[in-house]
Amino acid sequence: MNPAVTFSPAKLNLFLAVTQRRADGFHDLVSVAAPLAWGDELTTEPADIFTVECDDPAVPTDESNLVLKAARVFREATRWPGGAKFRLAKRVPPGAGLGGGSSNAVAALRALNVLAGNPLGADALAGLAARLGSDCALFLHDGPMTMRGRGEKLEPLPAAAAVRLRERRVLVFKPSFGIATPWAYGRLAAQAPASYLPATDAEARLAAWLTDGAAPAEKLLFNSFEPVAFAKYPALPVLLESLRANFGVAAGMSGSGSACFALLPEKFGPKKVVEMQAAIRTAWGGDALAVETRLA
């Protein structure tokens, strides 16, 4: 069998309201997330055992890698006796709030399911994805989704609302540092209840955007993690405010950070995008990520 290549997209949280901490230690949230047309590639080929290689030396290739965790979960669920060699072409940086590791895990599940003859249906795959991480199941779907619970309860946006997001141009940018998700949730919990947006308020905000057929994606942006991340890393809000003021774009942070994004008007030509990328690297250094892509 020839090696199979699976696209592993990044995602953006356009709306992310953390509503409360649960008794089990997880947090409830209400979010609208969309996959991107930009991401990683996972190549899978049959082998005797499960192994993973990555072109980014910063990504661990031991048992802590989510691709190998996904392979173990798949084997437990299916009793499939085979193995696979995974090669990960990494573009989505870790610690970014872009879901790179979760997406890689789901790409591995999908590739293994094909390799094993499709023993698992959509519901079974979703169950395995939820075991691997709160936002993993998102990557089993195409297009923008509403996420609830700890991220595992998914619902497609209504078609009329999804069309306002699909194919929107975005500039995704990240400084050289990342933000650990456990730290971000810990800071929210330490500042509770003021750090949470009550579920009724979160649902009301989302409903108002959904029912206003003229409201663009710019009106949806919200992220509960921004206050705690911005307090520790002032380089984030300083740059976002500069981009808003100088380029007239709506901008925010994705997930728990540190990656941010700006929604690009269609009228922005290549020169304007290059100017924005230059401004980002001037502020954050030449090694800052700054990629133009689209919401899928």
Question: Residue 1: pLDDT band by 50, 70, 90 thresholds?
Answer: low
β-sheet bridge partners, residue 30: 17
> Which residues are catalytically annotated?
11, 135
272 and 191 together in one domain: yes
Confidence of residue 2 (pLDDT cuts 50, 70, 90): confident
User: Which pLDDT score, from 0 to 100, does residue 33 have?
Assistant: 98
The whole-number pLDDT of residue 134 equals 87
**For all residues of the chain together, what is the average pLDDT?**
96
Task: Count CB-CB contacts under 10 A for residue 223.
Answer: 23
pLDDT greater than 90 at residue 212: yes
Specify the number of domains making up the chain. 2
Query: By percentage, how much of the chain surpasses pLDDT 70?
Result: 100
The last residue of a domain, from among 156, 182, 201: 156
Question: Do 173 and 275 reside in the same domain of the chain?
Answer: yes
Q: Which residue range(s) make up the domain with 232?
A: 165-294
| Residues 74 and 198 placed together within one structural domain of the fold | no
Looking at the structure, tell me whether residues 119 and 171 fall in a common domain: no
- Clarify whether residues 102 and 11 are in a common domain: yes
- Which amino acid appears at position 149 of this protein? G
Q: What is the pLDDT of residue 58?
A: 87
Read off φ and ψ for residue 125, nearest 5 degrees: -65, -40
Which of 156, 182, 217 is at the close of a domain?
156
Tell me: do 145 and 197 sit in the same domain. Answer: no
CATH number at residue 192: 3.30.70.890
Confidence class for position 131, pLDDT limits 50, 70, 90: very high
The per-residue pLDDT for range 73-102, each reduced to its tens digit, is: 999 999 999 999 999 999 999 889 999 999
180 and 72 part of one domain: no
Q: Is 252 helix (H, G, I), strand (E, B) or coil?
A: strand
Do 21 and 99 fall into the same domain? yes
Judging by DSSP bridges, how do beta strands 50-54 and 27-47 pair with one another? unpaired
CATH at 111 = 3.30.230.10
Report CA 59 to chain centroid distance, whole Å. Answer: 17
Asked if residue 96 lies in contact with residue 135, where contact means CB atoms within 8 angstroms, the answer is no
- pLDDT tens by residue, 245-262: 999 999 999 999 999 999
* 171 and 272 co-located in one domain: yes
Same domain, 10 and 100: yes
Q: At 9, is the pLDDT very low, low, confident or very high (cuts 50, 70, 90)?
A: very high
Report the percentage of the chain scoring pLDDT > 90.
97
Domain boundary among 124, 156, 188: 156
Q: For residues 61 and 218, is the Cβ–Cβ distance under 8 A?
A: no
* Judgement on whether residues 183 and 141 belong to the same structural domain of the protein: no
Average pLDDT over residues 176-198: 96
Alpha-carbon distance of 258 to 13, in angstroms, equals 12
- Could you tell me if 185 and 145 lie in one domain? no
